[in-house]
Amino acid sequence: MAISNNIKPTRIALITLVSCLIASAVIGIMIVLIGDFGETQIKILGTVAALAAFSLISLPSLFNLEKQRYQNIARPGIFIALVFFFLILIIIWGSGDFGNEIIGKSTFTAGVVAFGLNHILLLFIAKPEATILRLSQKLTSIIICLVACILIGVIWVEDMPDPLFKVLITLVILDVLGTISLPILSRISFKS
């Protein structure tokens, strides 16, 4: 996939994100000054927030598509982020009785998968030289997948036994540890 030097997907996503933040601020200020905050304004604000979230979530996929790295994860990552965005729009703009359980669970599932894939891609932006850090990077990716599987299973089954909750929290802590420490440690020189 050849990307023009002038029109980079990450640039478009960042411009969209900033534009959405500006639009949200303008809408918020108008609501405060005019004092009218009806259903349409809520839907518009929700749409702008959803577009900002889509732009933010999809940045790692767009970055990797630009760099032509991890294409097998980046393409599904951007696709499922787009599915998540459209499902959010269906919820926002659907009729009041559109709060279908299947749509809600599908939206949650798409969000978890989109966030998980892009989280993994974010981790792999760093290129650690030390073997232990590369292994930690892969282990953190596996942990992200496990967290996603547990969350998706719990939302569809609608039950989380206490032991599973403890496992989930432990995995989330390890996920956060890996996510925060790997980029920092990658900047420090280690011998393989």
**Residue 186 covered by a domain:** yes
The answer to whether the CB of 51 falls within 8 A of the CB of 88 is no
**Residue 3 covered by a domain:** no
Q: Could you tell me if 22 and 115 lie in one domain? A: yes
User: Tokens standing for 81?
Assistant: 């982020």
Q: Could you tell me if 91 and 56 lie in one domain? A: yes
- Label residue 106 by pLDDT band (50, 70, 90): very high
Domain-ending residue, one of 67, 101, 125: 125
**Residue 2 covered by a domain:** no
Q: Could you tell me if 93 and 145 lie in one domain? A: no
Q: In 10 A of CB 38, how many CB atoms?
A: 9
Show Cβ contacts of residue 147 under 8 Å, excluding neighbours closer than 6 positions: 116, 168, 171, 172, 175
Widest pairwise Cα distance in the chain: 62
Q: Could you tell me if 121 and 133 lie in one domain? A: no
User: Tokens standing for 164?
Assistant: 């599973």
Domain-ending residue, one of 105, 125, 145: 125
List Cα–Cα distances, 185 to 25, 153, 174, in angstroms. 37, 33, 15
The answer to whether the CB of 60 falls within 8 A of the CB of 125 is yes
What residue numbers bound the domain in which 169 lies? Answer: 128-192
Q: Could you tell me if 114 and 140 lie in one domain? A: no
Q: Could you tell me if 115 and 140 lie in one domain? A: no
Q: In 10 A of CB 1, how many CB atoms?
A: 9
**Residue 31 covered by a domain:** yes
Q: What is the pLDDT of residues 145-179, one digit of tens each?
A: 999 999 999 999 999 999 999 999 999 999 999 99
Please indicate whether residue 144 or residue 185 has the higher confidence score (pLDDT): 144
φ, ψ (nearest 5 deg) of residue 154: -65, -40
Sign of CA dihedral 45, 49, 54, 55: positive
Show Cβ contacts of residue 77 under 8 Å, excluding neighbours closer than 6 positions: 58, 60, 61, 64, 114, 117, 118, 121
Mean pLDDT taken over the chain: 86
Q: Could you tell me if 31 and 118 lie in one domain? A: yes
Q: What is the pLDDT of residues 29-69, one digit of tens each?
A: 877 777 677 788 788 888 888 888 888 898 899 889 888 89
**Residue 1 covered by a domain:** no
Domain-ending residue, one of 125, 156, 183: 125
Question: 50: closest CA among 3, 94, 92?
Answer: 92
**Residue 83 covered by a domain:** yes
Cα 114 to its chain centre, rounded Å, is 5
Q: Could you tell me if 22 and 103 lie in one domain? A: yes
Q: Could you tell me if 190 and 134 lie in one domain? A: yes
Q: Could you tell me if 81 and 22 lie in one domain? A: yes
Q: Could you tell me if 115 and 64 lie in one domain? A: yes
List Cα–Cα distances, 105 to 83, 87, 101, 156, in angstroms. 13, 10, 6, 7
State the total domains in the chain. Answer: 2
pLDDT at 142 over 90: yes
Q: Could you tell me if 132 and 82 lie in one domain? A: no
